[in-house]
Structure 1
Amino acid sequence: MSDANDPMMQQPAFVLVRPQMGENIGAAARAMWNFGLERMRMVDPRDGWPNPRAVALASGAGRLLDEAGIFDSLADAVGDCDYVFATTARGRGLTKPVVTPERAMEQARAMIGQGRRVAVLFGPERAGLENDDIVRANAIISVPVNPGFASLNLAQCVLLTAYEWRRQSSGILPERMEMAGAEPASALEVEKLAEHYETRLDEAGFFFPQTKAEGMKRTLRNLWSRMPLTRSDVQVFHGMLRQLTRRPGGEQ
């Protein structure tokens, strides 16, 4: 078995089984490389190999095509693998685990972490994988698409699966704030802003009636604390309030 530190052992192999159009092969390579995957294998591409149309559509991911493994049979393509997923949108009458792309890539990452080799099969564009292909797989990946229109383009299916692999990588946050060069406001700066507004609103008689004043102030403080303010935002809010409360003659 190869060294587990080899990059080729650190991600699943995507196997295109009897792909038909060079354009779709190229688009699949591009989708893979978008999400950092580079282990492409092909089984008996219909129009032979190499295919100039695939290169044209790869758009910067041509290296994946240059390094892709080309096999005459599926058995040869997955012969070195320990676990195989097969993508299909249709029920096949076979008893196998059926998982979403998210769950499949979660399992793949765990198995690869244990030093196991994983492959994902993608079928030809016209009809997808045949049952004789799927029986070689350990599990089925089923994308939760519209049941009235379940057909996915080859590159689309590759992209969805590759995205789920990348999404679970360390350092990929489900949500973040793009600061665009700005600095977040400190708690003290937000506190001073809240005090400024509370003072001016109190002077204007906003907190009325008196029995509700404390609750209104608490609501206002809560509003400021949950806003992701930058230091620039705080300065703008201070300036807006000063301008709104400026008295005739320039006094505040």
Structure 2
Amino acid sequence: MTDRQPAFILVRPQMGENIGAAARAMLNFGLTRMRLVDPRDGWPNQRAVATASGAGRVLDGAGTYDDTAGACADCDYVFATTARSRDLTKPVMTPERAMEHARALCAQGRKVGVLFGPERAGLENDDIARANAIISVPVNPDFASLNLAQCVLLTGYEWRRQTAEIVPELVHLAKTDPAPQIEVEKLAEHFEQRLEEEGFFFPDHKAEGMKINLRNMWSRFAMTRADVQMLHGALRQLVRWKTRDRD
């Protein structure tokens, strides 16, 4: 069942040939849920179809999105693939461990997304900040670059080879009621709005970095729907008390 597998999200892919090669790699391991974020050469793309060579149905079912937030909106848990060390603090997993985790979540009906970055530079911090964990491949540190299709192939392979055995603590996590990414996104926006009103993002030249770090913090938490609702309520109550004190 396609809803019991992760969505592979290609963020700003640059060449149709690479999208087609990624589709082939996905179908090799039974994965069919592809999402495309702002593909550089537009969509649909005939070069992608030609390169897919038999995996056209993956391309036919691919969803397109304007931004990473939209592509992740319905996901309960998101991984970001990156070979480079980042300033953002997140759990870092091997592809094997990540796909083990993904299987546990999918087995409980949770929606999982895996982000893959553009061919030239990879994912940006703003993309990674929206993920819950990072997938890092233990490659040669002197030549750490994997092309898009290679990264998709490696991750798909680890997904396929997982057995039906699921690590107990992952099942326990999956049995909670996690907040989908769209709900975490709305909470981040609410929090950011309140901080903006109070002049928190100062000085101006540091504001963007501060906002990315805050979004990274939210995605790092394993938040439930109840957590999100409680924090929204706390923010609203703080505003009510502040307004009452002014009156």
TM over 0.5: yes
Q: Which structure has greater helix proportion?
A: 2
2:15 alignment partner, one of 21, 27, 30: 21
Please name the residue that 2:153 is paired with.
Answer: 159
Secondary structure at the aligned position of 1:127 is classed as coil
2:53 alignment partner, one of 50, 54, 59: 59
AA in 1 matched with 2:136: S
Higher relative contact order (CA 8 A, sep 6+): 2
Please name the residue that 1:175 is paired with.
Answer: none
CA radius of gyration, larger in: 1
2:6 alignment partner, one of 12, 15, 23: 12
1:193-250 CA-partner distances (Å, limit 9, x unpaired): xxxxxxxxxxxxxxxxxxxxxxxxxxxxxxxxxxxxxxxxxxxxxxxxxxxxxxxxxx
Map 1:209-248 onto structure 2 (within 5 A). Answer: none
The alpha carbon displacement at 1:169 in A equals 4.1
Distance 1:19 1:76 in 2: 16
Consecutive unaligned residues of structure 2, counting only runs of 5 or more, are: 166-247
AA in 2 matched with 1:114: Q
The alpha carbon displacement at 1:9 in A equals 1.5
Alignment of 1:133 with 2:127, yes or no, is yes
Distance 2:51 2:113 in 1: 23
Map 1:103-182 onto structure 2 (within 5 A). Answer: 103-170=97-164
AA in 2 matched with 1:106: E
Map 1:43-54 onto structure 2 (within 5 A). Answer: 43-54=37-48
1:157-213 CA-partner distances (Å, limit 9, x unpaired): 000000000011459xxxxxxxxxxxxxxxxxxxxxxxxxxxxxxxxxxxxxxxxxx
Q: Which aligned runs of 4 or more in structure 1 are off by greater than 3 angstroms?
A: none
The alpha carbon displacement at 1:149 in A equals 0.3
Task: Give the direction of change, closer, same or farther, for the CA distance of 1:30–1:135 in structure 2 (3 Å limit).
Answer: same
TM-score computed with the length of structure 1 as normaliser: 0.64
AA in 2 matched with 1:41: R
Consecutive unaligned residues of structure 1, counting only runs of 5 or more, are: 1-6, 172-252
Please name the residue that 1:77 is paired with.
Answer: 71
1:54-100 CA-partner distances (Å, limit 9, x unpaired): 00110100011011000111111010000000000001111100000
TM-score computed with the length of structure 2 as normaliser: 0.66
2:95 alignment partner, one of 91, 94, 101: 101
The alpha carbon displacement at 1:8 in A equals 2.6
Tell me the C-alpha RMSD between the 2 structures: 1.1
Corresponding residue pairs, total? 165
Moved more, 35-44 or 109-118: 109-118
